Amino acid sequence: MRDPAPSPASAIRAATIDDVARHAGVSRAAVSKVIRDAYGVSDRMRERVTASIEALGYRPRVAARAMRGSTSTIGVQLPRMDNGFFTRILTGVVDSLRESDYQLIIAPMTDAVSGTTALESLYDRQVDGIIAVAPGIPQAWLEDLGQRVPLVQVGQHDHPRHYDVVVGDDDEGARLVMEHLFAAGHTRIAHVTNDERVLIEPRTDPHPRRLQVYEQLMRERGLPPEVIRIHPAEGDARDAVAGLLDRAVRPTAVFAGHDSLALAALEVVANRGLGSADVAVVGYDDVPIAAHPLVGLTTVDQHGKEMGATAADLLLERIRGRVTVERRVFMPELRVRATSGPSPTAAQ
């Protein structure tokens, strides 16, 4: 799926290295030497060129960056190292790059809600390109980075001008979950999700989109939504689910915003001596352990491995010179397993 044509304001021509050279009254080669921080550039020349760069708002692009030579490295920013879905994406990236000459540098996020620091560290290492996985960063920040280094973003619903996007259809995925639970007779459905109020960019984050679909479909059926928000860094999903089960009238189903939350819910359900006949649990992401026969988690398959491979392929195209924007949307599939039985109230 290609991005719509840019607005007239966004189509304004960006300054080029030749514009900088004319403005500074020096040669193009002199400008490139300053950009590359080459040996032998005088302080006066550096100040002159730097002043023109700032005056014109010039951003050294991929071509200028390439003058410094390839480092044969690609950076991958990951939100977490212990999340099975991100592992699937990384596996796809590795598989796609297996026959290439590139080595990966992986930078986990040090902030629970934003990957800015990790991405800056990759850029500072002069990687040839970056794959940003669910970075939780405003599009404007990524647009700036995308003008300086080939960039592909995975997981956020951006519509960029200077980088590519690989994302799942979260609206459809949430709809699949809810239709499955409604068909099984569930009406008391709780949604446990990341707290969108602490996110840097909730507008493009997938979890608020899933939440919106959940609330919309519940209200369309005259059912009251029950939303439990978990802080990505501080919240304990087990305590939250335990609170749900302690209620006099507890939910018959839990729709978890991602599989880590779903697995926490299953743990609480099992510790209470309950099972899928009492409380159905559905997750999102289809992490590897979800298919284990002792778990059997019903969940949404986002095709994480394929998303990672696609991101790597797109990044290689950008490194080779493509500048047009690509936006690939993956259609999710619901994997129905053992944890989402019929509502206990449906048989009464």
Phi, psi dihedrals of residue 264, rounded to the nearest 5°? -65, -40
Q: CATH 3.40.50.2300: does it fit domain 73-169+305-329? A: yes
Please tell me the pTM assigned to this model: 0.79
Give residue 93's pLDDT.
98
* Stretch 330-347: mean pLDDT: 91
Helix axes 84-97, 304-319, angle to 10 degrees: 40
Domains 73-169+305-329 and 171-303 share a fold: yes
Please check the confidence at residue 173 and state whether its pLDDT lies above 80.
yes
What is the Cα 242 distance to its own chain's centre? 29
Assigned CATH class of 17-66: mainly alpha
Of all residues in the chain, what percent carry a pLDDT higher than 90? Answer: 67
Give residue 6's pLDDT.
42
Alpha-carbon distance values, 53 to 72, 149, 228, 348 (Å): 28, 17, 49, 73
Please state which architecture CATH assigns to domain 171-303.
3-Layer(aba) Sandwich (3.40)
Write the DSSP assignment of 215-234 as a string of letters.
Answer: HHHHHHTT---EEEEE-TTT
The model's pLDDT over 112-134, given as tens digits with 9 standing for 90+, comes to 557 888 898 898 888 999 999 99
Give residue 277's pLDDT.
94
**So where are the chain's domains?**
17-66, 73-169+305-329, 171-303
Give residue 76's pLDDT.
97
The model's pLDDT over 265-304, given as tens digits with 9 standing for 90+, comes to 999 999 999 999 999 999 999 999 999 999 999 999 999 9
Give residue 228's pLDDT.
94
* Stretch 91-99: mean pLDDT: 95
Give residue 297's pLDDT.
98
The model's pLDDT over 40-83, given as tens digits with 9 standing for 90+, comes to 778 888 899 989 988 888 876 544 554 556 788 999 999 988 88
